Amino acid sequence: MSDKKASDLEKSLILTKISKLNRYLGFLKQLRDVSFEELKDDFKTIGAVERYLQVSIESIIDIGNEIISQLQLRRPEKYRDIPYILSEENIIPREFADTIASMIGFRNILVHDYASIDLNLVYAFLKNKLEDFNRFIKYVAKWLEG
């Protein structure tokens, strides 16, 4: 566990971001039961899934950046550096940093390659990756507890 701790104000900012992330995850969990056939035939559901996945991943980026800023850690050169910086401080395990970096890569696809997104990939992410968000929240919460 990192020796550096967040102040109450910093904790409040991080907890607010976690609360928003939990809200997005709630929406995604409601959509997770949609079949692939239902998903591919409903552009509103596709849009909702893609958007909530994007903002959920961006929440992880924001939480990571907030921790990095408050602890005055080295600045990430790119978003994918954030989980590795957090792992250097023992806030998240190193092997989990790879998972988060992969999620950030997926976010880049959602944001920048939106015209050619593979719906199979979106569906697989929805079905199989939501627990990774919860794991991230648990690690951050444990760090906040000090």
**Per-residue H/E/C for 73-109:** CCCCCCHHHHHHHHHHCCCCCHHHHHHHHHHHHHHHH
Average pLDDT over residues 31-48: 94
Cα–Cα distance measured from residue 14 to residue 4, given in angstroms and rounded to the nearest whole number: 15
Token pair 């104000």 is found at: 9
Tens of pLDDT, residues 50-106: 999 999 999 999 999 999 999 999 999 999 999 999 999 999 999 999 999 999 999
Model-level pTM? 0.91
Residue type for 49, please? V
- Mean pLDDT for the chain overall: 92
Domain 8-145: give its CATH superfamily.
Answer: bsu32300-like (1.20.120.580)
Report domain extents, the chain.
8-145
Tens of pLDDT, residues 11-31: 889 999 999 999 999 999 999
